[in-house]
Structure 1
Amino acid sequence: MKLKYIACAALSTISMASVTSAHAQSAGDFQVSAGWLHFAPQDSSGPFNVTALGQTVTKQGASASVSDADTFGLTLQYFVTDHIAVEAVTGVPPKFHLTGEGTLGPLGELGTAREWSPTLLLKYYFLNAQSKFRPYVGAGASYVWYSDVKLSQQMANGAFLYSPQTGTALTGPTSVHISSSFAPVVNAGLSYNFSKHWSAAFSVSYMWLSARATLTTNSAVGQVKSESKLKLDPIVTFLSVGYTF
C-alpha cells in the first residue's frame, strides 16, 4: 500500500510538472520573436498632377506600381492575461522599388525608398495557456515614414516632364518627398508552443496605407510641382521563432 501511495504521488507530481511546463503564454510573460517579414502591396496610384506657371494639369494615363519586399522582423510581446497581449513590431526597414506604368512605363524604375513602420497591436489568444496551438487575432496601428528615397536618373533630371508641347522647358533637377502617416492594422495568426520557452508563429496582417509623393523640379521657367497619391495597402506575412521568459 505504501509503495502504491508513493507511486501515485510520483505520477501526480510528474503530471503537475508537465502541465506547469506546458504554460507557454500566460499572464505576466514577455515574449521576444524574430523572423521573416514579407510585404505585398496591393497598390494603385492616383492622378499625376503637374503644377507649373500657376496652372495645374493632370497627366492622363500616368501611374506607378510598388514592388514586394522582404526583411528581418522583431517583436516584443507582453501578456496582460492568459488571453490578452500587447505587441510591438519593428524590423529592418524594407526597400521598395517604384516602377512607372502607363505613360510613365518607358521610364522603367522611377525610384526606391525604405519604409519604417513600427506597429503596436492588441491581440487576443484563443484556447488556454496550456495549449500547444493557439490561434489569435489582433488590431492596432502603425506610424509609417520613408528614408533613403532615391530617384532614377530620368526622374532626377526631370525628363518625365518632357512633352511635345513644352519640350524640355519644365525639366530640371528634381527632388522628392513622401508623406508620413498613421495606418490602421488588423492581424491574425497561429502560435505553436514547443515548450514553456520556445515557440513558432505565422501571422498575416493587413494595413490601410497611402502616401503622397511630391516632386519638386527647378526648371528654366520656375519651380514645378508634381504630385500623386499612392495607395499601398500591404498584406504583411510574418514567420517567426519566439522565446518566452
Structure 2
Amino acid sequence: MKALLPVALVSAFCSSMALAHSAGDIFVRGGVASVMPNESSDKVTGSNELEIDKDTQIGVTLSYMLTDNVGFEVLAATPFTHDVSVNTLGKVAEVSHLPPSVMAQYYFGQANSQVRPYVGAGLNYTLFFDEEGKGDLANTDVNLDNSFGLAAQVGVDVTLSDHWFANASLWYMDINTDVHTTVGTFDTDIDPLTFMASVGYTF
C-alpha cells in the first residue's frame, strides 16, 4: 500500500489537472502581445522605404469551443503605437492601431489533454488612428487607410489547474495600407508577426 500511495497521488493530481477544452466551453486569455512588423513600402527617398518599429501591449482573447476540437476566437488589445522612420530622414511619423481579429481554430488531442496545441485561420481588420507627422513631416497631415486581410496563428495551452492554463501563440496578419502624406502616398505592407504570452481561464 505504501508503494502504491505515490502512484495514486500522482494519478489524482494529473486527473485534477485535465484541461477542459471541450464542446460548449468558453475561455478567456489575457497577457502581453508584441507586434513585430515585417514591413515593405514604396520608395520614399532613393532606395529607402518606410520602417516601422515594434510595440508591446495588453492582449485579450475570447474563445468558444464548438466541438472538442473546433473553436472560434476573437482577439482584442490595447492600442499599439509605432514609430515610422526613413533611413535618411529619421522618425517621420507616429501612428496607433487596433487589430481586432476573428479566428476559426483546430485543437489537437483529446478534450481532457493537459497540453492542447492548435492552429487557426481567419480575418483581421486593422484600424489606424492618431496619426501624427514627426521630423520632416511635423505639423503636416499623415493618414493611413484601414486594412482588411487574412490572419493565421499557431499556439498551445498548458494546464495549470482545473480552470487555469498558460498559453503561448504566434499570429501572422496580412496588413496593407496606403500612407498618405503631403509629399505623396506610399503603398505599405506591414504584415506583422504577433507573439502573445498569456494566462487563460475556462468557464
Same fold (TM over 0.5): yes
Work out whether 1:182 is the aligned partner of 2:168. no
* Structure 1 counterpart of 2:43, one-letter code: P
**Contact between 1:82 and 1:129, CA under 8 Å: does it hold in 2?**
yes
- SS in structure 2 at match of 1:128: coil
- SS in structure 2 at match of 1:60: coil
Greater CA deviation, 86-95 or 174-183? 174-183
1:153 CA displacement: 4.1
* Structure 2 counterpart of 1:27, one-letter code: A
**Contact between 1:47 and 1:229, CA under 8 Å: does it hold in 2?**
no
Hey, what does 2:83 align to over in structure 1?
Answer: 97
Q: Gapped runs of 5+ residues in structure 2?
A: 1-7
Hey, what does 1:127 align to over in structure 2?
Answer: 109
Hey, what does 2:179 align to over in structure 1?
Answer: 213
Q: Please, what is the CA RMSD of the aligned residues?
A: 2.0
- SS in structure 1 at match of 2:142: strand
The TM-score, its normalising length taken from structure 2, stands at 0.88
1:130 CA displacement: 1.1
1:115 CA displacement: 1.1
Work out whether 1:31 is the aligned partner of 2:30. no
Could you list the runs of 4 or more consecutive aligned residues of structure 1 that deviate by over 4 angstroms after TM superposition?
17-21
Work out whether 1:241 is the aligned partner of 2:193. no
1:21 CA displacement: 6.4
Hey, what does 1:3 align to over in structure 2?
Answer: none
Deviation sequence 1:148-183 (CA, Å, 0-9, x none): 1111142035xxxxxxxxxxxxxxxx2111011112
Query: Do the aligned partners of residues 83 and 156 (structure 1) sit closer, same or farther apart at CA in structure 2, a change above 3 Å counting?
Result: same
Which of structures 1 and 2 has the bigger CA Rg? 1
Query: After the TM superposition, which residues 33-182 of structure 1 pair with which residues of structure 2 at under 5 Å, given as runs?
Result: 33-48=29-44, 60-101=46-87, 105=88, 107-157=89-139, 174-182=140-148
- SS in structure 2 at match of 1:175: coil
* Structure 2 counterpart of 1:69, one-letter code: D
- SS in structure 2 at match of 1:154: helix
Query: Do the aligned partners of residues 23 and 132 (structure 1) sit closer, same or farther apart at CA in structure 2, a change above 3 Å counting?
Result: closer
The TM-score, its normalising length taken from structure 1, stands at 0.74
1:81 CA displacement: 0.7
Deviation sequence 1:197-245 (CA, Å, 0-9, x none): 10011011111211111113xxxxxxxx511111111011110100000
Distance across 1 between alignment mates of 2:36 and 2:96: 14
* Structure 1 counterpart of 2:165, one-letter code: S
* Structure 2 counterpart of 1:226, one-letter code: G
Query: Percent identity over the alignment?
Result: 30
Distance across 1 between alignment mates of 2:181 and 2:124: 25
- SS in structure 1 at match of 2:49: strand
1:60 CA displacement: 3.4
- SS in structure 1 at match of 2:161: coil
* Structure 2 counterpart of 1:228, one-letter code: F
Aligned length: 194
